[in-house]
Amino acid sequence: MYWKEIRKKQAGLISLLAVKHLARVVRPNQPRQNVKTQVGKSIFAFSNLLHKPKVQTPLKSDSGERQSLLAQFLSTFGTRIEGFYDNPYTVRGMFRFLTPLAKDYVFRLFFATSPCPLESLKQWSLPDPLSIRMHAEAIKRLDSFRIFQVLGPKGSKMVALSQYFRQHLVFALYNSDANLPVQHAPHHVPTLDQLQQYAQFRAAAPGPLHYRPCCLEAAAGKKQRALSLEDAPGATDQVELLVRLGLMRPVGAVAPSTSTATTPGPSPAPFSKRPAPSPSPPPPTPASGRYETTGEGYQFLLKRASTQLWTFMISYLKGFRVRPCLLLPGVVVAVWGRKVVCAPEDRTLVEALGFLFRLTMMTVGRPQEAAALTPTQMQVMRDLRAFGLIYQRKDGAAHFIPTPLVSVLALEGAAAPARPSSRPARRRCPGAARGGPTDLEQGWIVVESTTCPVPRAPCPVPRAPCPVPRAPCPVPRAPCPVPRVRLHGQRPARGHAWLFVQLQYRLPNLVVGSVTLESVRRALMFGITADQITSFLYQHAHPQQRLRRPVIPEAVRDQIFLWEAERNRLLFQRAAVFEGLPPPVHQAAVAFAREQGVLLCEVAAKGLLVVPEAEKGPVHAHIVDLMTRAAALPPQG
């Protein structure tokens, strides 16, 4: 009953907000019909905000990966995260990061005037296992982002929406425009195509993204395994950044087994001209000055551009935290009656993160007034130029313009923000709007299995023998008996498919390659998994290919997994072996180990018992106990 009322209130408030929003938009002397259209538009806009149209997710784990990147970063702040929501754009940005179910929960609690019992939240999910799992995930995510506040003792926990979050969510609902007002329009505004070129130039000129296509690729190439700093003058900063992220390492250094690209260590801001005050040690500079790509680096290449960009952004924000030059006095804020002190360095970080989120909401290609920025935001804006996210005609110019790369940063799941684009390629591929590579990662992939029909003449594909024995093709004239990958687009190599594809030939808008045992094995040796390869093929599938079920031919997918399984024929595990146990002791010890769930294997004839090394303590104690008892017994007969 309680929730029903809340639902009613919620529906009422949405239309109220829409009408209020309209009141600001509609001029009094407007014709009646226009007003109607605007009402419709406004309500549509709000309902869109609440219930985003369901779109095909290109990669199931991708959205979650970025969420966990951000969650991992924010979790380092503990309860101080609440202070982060003191910025409407952060609130709106974080809201975008939530799953649809979590968004729904936020709105349910939005209208609860007092904290709700945690137990009653369980009634929101259906009793089937999938719903319960999704419910638990949504609650966990909201709790980890501290959007929910859990109050009260353990037995009777209460949940409420974070005060700042609630407060600024209202602001986010009212103000959809994140652009900075411009007083004097600049004389020259570059077109979207020019901005696109600029962003691509930045991505191919000094800047960290440069090292996606250049450093990592050069080092990942088959012939040139290592990159020398002499080949890329002025790249020291960026290489340092990549070394800190664990994506590259000096030649000869031992690969850190636990470090991943998602857990980069503290790094100073890489693009600041000022010396970073962080005392973090510099990366070890090898005598040869040569660097190579790590396994994480190769895996990083196969990730979506938005995930890659967020990895850099979070690394940048980590470095940003420790700059003393912009520190403001600590600010005391009250959250649910408690006093929370935003640490001074948090304050600047809150502002930086807020500006980053705001940037993702700005209109691409529209000039923004630089004078409206605070000193912190100005610093962020200057640094982001190095990433190609922002165009500024010259240092200190009155305006700055977000480039199309910003929309890659804003890309959540498959729902790309609407953005004016007049590229013919997009028009030809209607599926492009529903998820798939953006303009910046052009190129589609078409995967065909051996069994698909291919025109006999003129045959563009060279005859090649099958790398593994296969079932006979149902179409006898298929001349190419290896899984083929066709890459469409102007710059298909950008997709990094070369990591696991043997390229065969290149046409003006088409590249054809084969997925062979050798090419996949090479990728596996780099540390890429079969799952990543198939996810990559799925994610970049051509719109027409996307319509097929399954999207990737089963024969190709299964073969890639089989090749991986073949390589993983050896399983290694640290273990402790008890040898020469007398039969009664062996029997009892095996029963004990089995009961504990630690038994790896046993051989009764040799009196052998194998358990994981970490678990050997209790088993060892038990065996000693059994042996003492056996020794104490008088010998039989």
Partner 1 sequence: MATLKTGLLVTCDPTIRMYLLHLDRNDRSFIQLEIDDTHLLIDDSSREYLVHKIDELHRSNTYILGESQK
Comparing C-alpha atoms, which of 202, 201, 193 is closest to residue 420? 193
Write down the least CB distance from residue 569 to partner 1, Å.
5
Say how far apart CA 323 and CA 275 lie, in whole Å.
10
**Residue 60 CB partners (closer than 8 Å, separation 6+):** 535
Write down the least CB distance from residue 610 to partner 1, Å.
6
> Are the C-beta atoms of residues 216 and 295 closer than 8 Å to each other?
no
Q: With respect to partner 1, which residue has the nearer C-beta, 29 or 257? A: 257
Q: With respect to partner 1, which residue has the nearer C-beta, 385 or 521? A: 521
Q: With respect to partner 1, which residue has the nearer C-beta, 20 or 521? A: 521
Write down the least CB distance from residue 521 to partner 1, Å.
7
> Are the C-beta atoms of residues 400 and 367 closer than 8 Å to each other?
yes
Write down the least CB distance from residue 294 to partner 1, Å.
16
Write down the least CB distance from residue 162 to partner 1, Å.
48
Q: In degrees rounded to 5, what are phi and psi of residue 243?
A: -65, -40
Q: With respect to partner 1, which residue has the nearer C-beta, 91 or 581? A: 581
Write down the least CB distance from residue 607 to partner 1, Å.
7
At residue 304's C-alpha, the angle toward residues 298 and 310, to 5°, is 95
Q: With respect to partner 1, which residue has the nearer C-beta, 391 or 578? A: 578
* Residue 423 tokens, joined: 């590229």
> DSSP character for 162?
-
Q: With respect to partner 1, which residue has the nearer C-beta, 230 or 613? A: 613
- As beta bridge partners, residue 150 has 159
Comparing C-alpha atoms, which of 617, 587, 582, 535 is closest to residue 60? 535
Write down the least CB distance from residue 574 to partner 1, Å.
6
Residue with tokens 């369901």: 54
Q: With respect to partner 1, which residue has the nearer C-beta, 457 or 571? A: 571
> Are the C-beta atoms of residues 483 and 451 closer than 8 Å to each other?
no
Write down the least CB distance from residue 130 to partner 1, Å.
34
Which residue type does 126 have? L
Write down the least CB distance from residue 253 to partner 1, Å.
15
- As beta bridge partners, residue 250 has 291
Q: With respect to partner 1, which residue has the nearer C-beta, 303 or 586? A: 586
Q: How far apart are the first and last CA of the chain?
A: 79
Residue 556 burial by Cβ neighbours in a 10 Å radius (0-12, 13-18, 19+): buried
Say how far apart CA 505 and CA 517 lie, in whole Å.
18
Q: With respect to partner 1, which residue has the nearer C-beta, 287 or 632? A: 632
Write down the least CB distance from residue 557 to partner 1, Å.
20
- What's the chain's length in residues? 637
Q: With respect to partner 1, which residue has the nearer C-beta, 518 or 558? A: 518
Write down the least CB distance from residue 502 to partner 1, Å.
6
Say how far apart CA 594 and CA 597 lie, in whole Å.
5
Which contiguous run of DSSP H or E holds residue 448?
Answer: strand 444-448
Say how far apart CA 268 and CA 316 lie, in whole Å.
7
CA atoms within 13 A on the CB side of 340: 21
- Which DSSP string corresponds to 265-284? -----TT-SSPP---PPPPP
Write down the least CB distance from residue 593 to partner 1, Å.
14
Which contiguous run of DSSP H or E holds residue 474?
Answer: none
Q: With respect to partner 1, which residue has the nearer C-beta, 5 or 518? A: 518
Q: In this structure, are strands 248-250 and 290-293 parallel, antiparallel, or unpaired?
A: antiparallel
Chain contacts with partner 1 (rule: CB under 8 A): 464-465, 467, 482, 502, 514, 516-518, 521, 525, 566-567, 569-582, 585, 600-601, 603, 607-608, 610, 613, 616, 620, 623, 627
Return the number of other C-beta atoms located less than 10 Å from residue 15's C-beta: 14
Q: With respect to partner 1, which residue has the nearer C-beta, 13 or 253? A: 253
